[in-house]
Amino acid sequence: MSKLAPVSIRISAPKGVYDVIGADTVRWDDLETRFFETAATWGYPRVRIPVFEHTELFVRSVGEATDIVRKEMYTFSDRGDRSLTLRPEGTAGMVRCFVEHSLDQAGLPWKAAYGGPMFRAENVQRGRYRQFHQFGVEAIGVDDPALDVEVIALGWAFLRHLGLVELTLLVNTIGRPEERARYVEVLADHVRKAVPGLDPDDEERLELNPLRVLDSRDPRVVEALATGPRLRDVLGDESRSHFGAVLDGLDAAGIPYEVDDTLVRGLDYYTSTTFEYASGTLDSAQNALGGGGHYDGLVEMCGGPPLPGIGFALGVERILIACESEGILAEVRGTVDVIVLHVGETAVPARRIAAELREAGVRTDVVFGNRSLKAQFKQADRSGARVAVVVGERDMERGVVTLRDLDTGEQSEATLDSVRQEIEEVIGS
């Protein structure tokens, strides 16, 4: 029987996911490192939580009526027929972690940072993907407007220190659930009267999650909302004074903000303060670099004590897009600083020199295969390295190598003992 060669099929990545390669990886890692360093400086150490959880956790916390739960979750049954879901966001998992490990015992608030891939089956466009990445913080256990201010200020400071200037902080309060319940009745009534023949999407929102009608893009609804009842006007004293204290705190910290009455956000667990960091460089539908808010009932809903929480998450991809648009992406040189070339029978000493440089922490590559010196120099140029070390047979007999500055083309000789030092002088490490 003849053996058939396997059929060659090119399989591309699924829609809405992508690979991070080359300079993008360096910028990505740098952004992540800076975020977790900033968070740690503010007293939010990193925790790592799983990428999938029981589906029920997200249905209960994010909310059955939200777009995320109704249309966007990647849910599957495992081999034991349990329903699991790839996390669409991190707050639910963080709260589950807090409750599961009784972290309230260690003193409150419990403050922590987290990050990683999140999954939502959304309509894909620039800044909106199916696997995307967030990092964020949560602070659980203390009801103090000053903690809201700290959390908002941390995200703001991080984004500003990246050098972003086209940034607007939007803040709002959506009050307590009972205040909201009173408001949505009046709101639904007002919108239905003002806009006969509502678009089916908005009608569905009014049925399932009336507050989300504040996100409507229908100009008739937008106009009706401008003259309609405002949630802020129906809030009780406690909610008003909490929000007032948050705004005072932001003023005192010198953080500019806009109060946006329509900022309700797409997750059901929020109560009182909500906020977003919007970038002027992205389309308005995807202009949130991050967002967050206060959640009063979530810890209890997840089986824990009745403790409030506040946090935010930032979108890594959107931040990188905003940095690119504002021209502040860091220059990334090649992945190595030095490349070692060899001529004739010098592969062994060339590898030894490379090993010594790597041992000293110098990013070093070598050339593989049997190539001409010309081909090796071509590879050296492509590598992005700053210096090429050329190890030649005759030079080695004299105990020297040639160093070539790949930017200027200048060449010099170095003794085997001084190679490392001379290279470090050129690359400044």
Residues that bind ligand HAM (CB under 6 A): 89-91, 120, 122, 127-129, 132, 134, 136, 138, 266-267, 288-293, 311-313, 315, 317-318
Residue 313 or 339: which CB sits closer to ligand HAM?
313
From the CB of 309, what's the least distance to ligand HAM, in Å? 7
Residue 279 or 383: which CB sits closer to ligand HAM?
279
Helix axes 23-41, 316-325, angle to 10 degrees: 110
User: Are residues 114 and 147 in contact, defined by beta-carbon separation less than 8 angstroms?
Assistant: no
Residue 127 or 228: which CB sits closer to ligand HAM?
127
From the CB of 51, what's the least distance to ligand HAM, in Å? 14
From the CB of 315, what's the least distance to ligand HAM, in Å? 2
User: Max CA-CA distance within the chain?
Assistant: 94
Residue 87 or 404: which CB sits closer to ligand HAM?
87
Tell me the C-alpha distance between 335 and 221, whole Å: 52
Q: Which ranges of 360-404 does DSSP label H, i.e. alpha helix? A: 373-383, 393-397
For 286-299, give the DSSP string.
Answer: G-EEEEEEEESSHH
Tell me the C-alpha distance between 305 and 279, whole Å: 37
Residue 43 or 349: which CB sits closer to ligand HAM?
43
Tell me the C-alpha distance between 268 and 249, whole Å: 26
From the CB of 257, what's the least distance to ligand HAM, in Å? 16
Residue 140 or 329: which CB sits closer to ligand HAM?
140
Residue 175 or 334: which CB sits closer to ligand HAM?
175
From the CB of 267, what's the least distance to ligand HAM, in Å? 6
Residue 291 or 392: which CB sits closer to ligand HAM?
291
From the CB of 259, what's the least distance to ligand HAM, in Å? 18
**Which of 312, 308, 69, 55 lies closest to 177, judged by CA?**
308
DSSP 18: -
Tell me the C-alpha distance between 94 and 114, whole Å: 8
From the CB of 388, what's the least distance to ligand HAM, in Å? 41
Tell me the C-alpha distance between 216 and 214, whole Å: 6
From the CB of 149, what's the least distance to ligand HAM, in Å? 15
Cα 120 to chain centroid distance, Å, stands at 14
Residue 313 or 385: which CB sits closer to ligand HAM?
313
Residue 57 or 406: which CB sits closer to ligand HAM?
57
Number of other residues whose CB lies within 10 A of the CB of residue 130: 19
Burial of residue 28 (CB within 10 Å: 0-12, 13-18, 19+) is middle
- Tokens matching residue 119: 């999954």
For 138-174, give the DSSP string.
Answer: EEES---HHHHHHHHHHHHHHHHHTT--SEEEEEEE-
Shortest Cβ contact with ligand HAM: which residue? 315
DSSP 285: G
From the CB of 20, what's the least distance to ligand HAM, in Å? 14
User: Are residues 339 and 379 in contact, defined by beta-carbon separation less than 8 angstroms?
Assistant: yes
From the CB of 292, what's the least distance to ligand HAM, in Å? 4
- Tokens matching residue 401: 């190598």
